[in-house]
Amino acid sequence: MPEPSLSQQNLREMASRWLSPSKVPGRFRVHEDTTDFFRVEYDDVVVLDGATYLIRHNAKEQRFGLEDEVKFWVKRAIDLQDGELKILKLVFYEKFLSHVGDLEFECYRSPRKEARILDLVAGHPGFMQGHAVEDTGGNLIRVLDFINGRPLSKQINGLDLDHETYFYERLPGVLNRFKEAVEAIRFLHENREKHGDIRRDHILVDREDGRYRWIDFDYNYRHRENIYGYDLFGLGNILVFLVGMGDVIVRDLATRNPDALNTLSAEDLNLVFQNRVVNLRKVYPYIPVALNRMLLHFSRGTHVFYEQTSQLVSDLSEVLEAHLPPPETAEEKGETNDEPGEDLQQEHPHCGG
Amino acid sequence: MTNREKTFNKNILIAVDESENARRAVSYVGQLLGGLEGFSVLLLHVFPEPDEDFFRTQAEKEQWMEKRRQKMESVLADYRGMLIDSGFGEDQVRTRSTMRYCPSMAECILEERGETEYSTIVVGRQGLSRSEEFLFGSISSKIVNHARNCTVWVVE
Topology (CATH level 3) of domain B34-155:
Rossmann fold (3.40.50)
Q: How far is CA A108 from CA A42, A263, A269, in A?
A: 28, 41, 29
Q: Give the residue-averaged pLDDT of B76-104.
A: 94
Q: Does B52 touch chain A (CB under 8 A)?
A: yes
**Which of A101, A227, A305 lies at the smallest CB-CB distance from B104?**
A227
Q: Does B68 touch chain A (CB under 8 A)?
A: no
**Which of A220, A223, A305 lies at the smallest CB-CB distance from B134?**
A305
Convert A165-196 to b/e letters by CB count within 10 Å (16 or more is b): ebbebbbbbbbbbbbebbbbbbbbbeeebbbb
Of A205, A208, A195, A237, the residue nearest A345 (C-alpha): A205
Interface test with A, best of B107, B131, B138 (most A CBs within 10 A): B131
**Which of A112, A224, A300 lies at the smallest CB-CB distance from B136?**
A224
Of A108, A50, A44, the residue nearest A76 (C-alpha): A44
Gap between the terminal Cα atoms of chain A: 43
Check CB contact under 8 Å for B136 and A272.
Answer: no
The pLDDT value recorded for residue A70 is 85
Other C-beta atoms closer than 10 Å to the C-beta of B69 total 14
Check CB contact under 8 Å for A225 and B54.
Answer: no
Equal fold, A4-145 vs A149-335: no
Query: Domain map of chain B by residue range?
Result: 34-155
Query: Domain map of chain A by residue range?
Result: 4-145, 149-335
Residue B63 sits at φ, ψ, to 5 deg, of -65, -45
The pLDDT value recorded for residue A231 is 95
Measure A45 CA to nearest chain B CA, in Å.
26
CB contact at 8 A, A112 and A139: no
The pLDDT value recorded for residue A2 is 47
CB contact at 8 A, A108 and A217: no
Domain A149-335: assigned CATH number: 1.10.510.10
Helix (H, G, I), strand (E, B) or coil at B73: helix
Check CB contact under 8 Å for A302 and B130.
Answer: yes
Other C-beta atoms closer than 10 Å to the C-beta of B6 total 9
The pLDDT value recorded for residue B17 is 92
Check CB contact under 8 Å for A225 and B52.
Answer: no
**Which of A113, A225, A300 lies at the smallest CB-CB distance from B106?**
A225
**CA-to-CA distance for A266 and A270, rounded, in angstroms?**
9
Per the prediction, chain B carries an average pLDDT of 90
Measure B87 CA to nearest chain A CA, in Å.
33
Local confidence pLDDT in tens for the 353 residues of chain A? 445 468 999 999 999 999 999 999 999 999 999 999 999 999 999 999 999 999 999 888 765 555 677 889 999 999 999 999 999 999 998 888 888 777 778 888 999 999 999 999 999 999 999 999 999 999 999 999 999 999 999 999 999 999 999 999 999 999 999 999 999 999 999 999 999 999 999 999 999 999 999 999 999 888 888 899 999 999 999 999 999 999 999 999 999 999 999 999 999 999 999 899 999 999 999 999 999 999 999 999 998 889 899 999 999 999 999 878 787 654 444 444 444 333 434 433 344 33
Chain A residues with at least one Cβ partner in B under 8 Å:
93, 95, 100-101, 103, 105, 108, 110, 112-113, 192, 220, 222-227, 229-230, 232-233, 271-272, 298, 300, 302, 305
The pLDDT value recorded for residue A265 is 95
The pLDDT value recorded for residue B113 is 84
User: The pTM is what?
Assistant: 0.86
Lateral strand order in the sheet of A149-151 = A149-151, A203-206, A212-214
**Residues forming a β-bridge with A47:** A52
User: Which long-range contacts does B113-118 make (Cβ < 8 Å, 24+ apart)?
Assistant: B113/B13, B113/B44, B113/B147, B113/B150, B116/B11, B116/B13, B116/B42, B116/B44, B117/B9, B117/B11, B118/B9, B118/B11, B118/B12, B118/B13, B118/B42, B118/B150
The pLDDT value recorded for residue B5 is 67
Domain A4-145: assigned CATH number: 3.30.200.20
The pLDDT value recorded for residue A287 is 96
Q: Give the residue-averaged pLDDT of B95-108.
A: 90
Convert A24-62 to b/e letters by CB count within 10 Å (16 or more is b): bbeebeebbebeebeebeebbbbbbeeebbbbbebbbbb
Of A202, A164, A176, A211, the residue nearest A316 (C-alpha): A176
**Residues forming a β-bridge with B6:** B3
Report residue A93 CA to chain centroid gap.
Answer: 20
